[in-house]
Structure 1
Amino acid sequence: MLILENHVTNTTSLSLNHYLYHGIKLFKASNFELTRYIRKACNDNPLMHMDEGKIPLEVLSYHHSSQADSIMDELLMHFNCCLSSPDKEIMHTLLYSLNSSGFLETFPKEVSKVLRIPVNKVNENIDRLKSYENLGIGCLDAKEFLEFQLRLKDEYDEACFSLFFEHLDDIHQGQYGFLDDTPMDINTFEDYMEVIKNCSLSPLMPDTNVFIEPDAHIETTADRTLKIKLSDYLMDDIIFEPIHLRTDDPAFNETITRYKQEYEELLSIVNARTLYLKQILSVIIHVQKEYLLQEKDYLNPLNQTELADQTGLSPATISRLMTDKYISTPRGVLPIRALLSKKVTGNISASFVRYMISHTENFRTISDSRIAEQLKQYDIHISRRTVNKYKNELLSGL
């Protein structure tokens, strides 16, 4: 079993002291939060700094934004304060799925499916995101964003709006013959086009940085294997510059020793976090390879206890490392927890049971007992009540 105390002792010759125990909370931190913590540690330790030449440009530009507070800082702080745990996880997933223009790059049904929550809960949080300072962040595309702005100004006209998008090519060529088949006159339509032209095409300006870095990336190679790429630049980024100065001042020497010890302890935490996270992800991609490659639409059974058994890490460490962690996959950005699925019966996952129920003909209308009987032919032996539970989850996401 990989024990944190052994790792720290072997790499730094330090004991696992109070500072390091306190630092274990960094296992819960996202890369963004960890980078902030390291920056503060560097500010407090004059012999330690971050080598920004090793930081990816997109990360560097985000943390060095000319704005006092970036929009993403505001969003994270706002929703972390005002939302409870279930809604917070939904919101984090949505924020990680935004592109640079502020559009959502995933559909509510996909988020519902991944997080196994009703789609109406996803839509509630999308509405919260759009309503933040009425910016419209979280719209799916320019059309939805234009409609959002027009409704906000109380200038939305469904007939004009629909005609505008149905005949964009004709409008571009200055041809308005399509109005002949409608009760709308050219002047009214041109006035409405001016209203649309006064709207923005995206929630955020191109130079607004909304980058949130996933904690890891799973990439597909040419031979259809999966490769883990951790956002581990922080391991080589923390630099210590010792002072080679002889002095008989005990207080000065003690301070220098403390600065070096703080550096070594912080480096140990960052290295252990990276090492453990890679172990967890290695197990996950091995078990869920077919799902990640989109060869099948359900997960194999895997839970935190099994992860602990296969990695040698404690369940508490597994839990910390999976808290608020997101990973970029061929299926999009997902919470790492979304790649786990508990066993329901035998070696069959809850994800597979949901998949089979959803692919049962007329599952929305036939009885739960009948579904349970049909599932037995696939060696899925579950009660009518369990069928009802998963069926309701599926229906709430449709």
Structure 2
Amino acid sequence: MTVSRIAAPSVDRLAPWQFAAFVEANTHDMAYRPPVVDGPVGPTVVRNGRELVNFASISFLELDRHLPVQRHFAEGARAHGLSTSGSRMTQGICRPHQVLEDTIARHTGKERAISFATGLLANIGFVHAMSSSAHFDAGIEVRNHDTVFVVDRDVHWSIWKGLEGRDYGRNVHAFRHNDVSDLTRILERVRARKTVVIAESIYSADGTMGPIVDILDACERYGAISMIDDANGFMVYGPENRPYAREAAAIRDRADFVMVSLSKAIGLEGGAIAGPATAIDAFELLSGTSMFTAAIQPPTAYTAKRTIDVLADDPAIVDHYLAHAARFRRQMHESDTPTTPTDSYMLSVPIGNDAAALHMREWFVEDGYLVPVFSYPAVPRNRALLRLFPHAGHTEEQMDGFLRTLLTYRRRLGL
């Protein structure tokens, strides 16, 4: 029997898409072809055969030092399998998903939660559910194309992706980053019956903390629905002895919807939206990103629930980490290295010039450090920054070595 092969599209046939020209013009290899990582990721990472001190890991608590995560995962896999083997709508959810969603609802102070394979899908699904129009049968319909979204201009790409195609200036408005007076100005002008305000607790690019209490005050004053993306704050902030306690309490007690990520403090993958039960029930059909794709793997859901419980029952885990991150920030300030003015665990170091920042990234790799650089289009042109996640497993020697290296580069670039 002869097996026919389907030829890949030739370069000539792909020419109208300009992929080859785009790649050729991009002189920064790491920007489009990610290096290969071997072994587990933690305070260090082995990339392309080299061990680097890792300031890029968003799984920063190193929870395998505090609880047997791998044992929980294996236990969940044996009991529930490795895959959901179907969508929520065709087959249902696995028991670990229901238990996890109940746990997230309880810890966010909301009536119900729905989980998604990633936090990105949770955000896109939220926007779609709040703005979709659908007609299933007589009386079973929603018409929400007139929803108006007012978002902090620095919200995550996933929110902007969800808003793509909507009419900017009519159905979509952006207020200046963390500027409640600008939010109020827009809400005063819009005065729409269906208005949704979206902001973040801790912003991924620069680590700034949102003025949540004032944002929720504005929402309540103008009758707007609030959604807080708490991907970076979930299970980190809340107790009164920690930074951001007032805002964390407001998210729990006053925000209408909350998005959480399981890839940050929890150290796994997945996301969820928590909110009023009737809305979350409707999201099963209306979000799209839960109905038409697979859910989190059952052992991941199983392990995430137990990890959330451990963080709640043993607050010292996060307390110690936050003190560790605060010491690092203090050391940077003592060495005259500026960071963004915030008390979050993320440290952002302004560099400015995009080219200088990209050079710095490659120098760090040469000297044994993996340091993420945010440059255009992640941030405005020539407002590049280093975005650091201190890791619970970083030693004082590793952090001191990084700081000495950074100071050397700053002098070299005249910063």
Whether TM-score is above 0.5 comes out as no
Where is the helix percentage greater, Structure 1 or Structure 2? 1
Structure possessing the higher radius of gyration over alpha carbons = 1
Where is the strand percentage greater, Structure 1 or Structure 2? 2
Query: Scaled by the length of structure 2, what TM-score is found?
Result: 0.28
Query: Scaled by the length of structure 1, what TM-score is found?
Result: 0.28
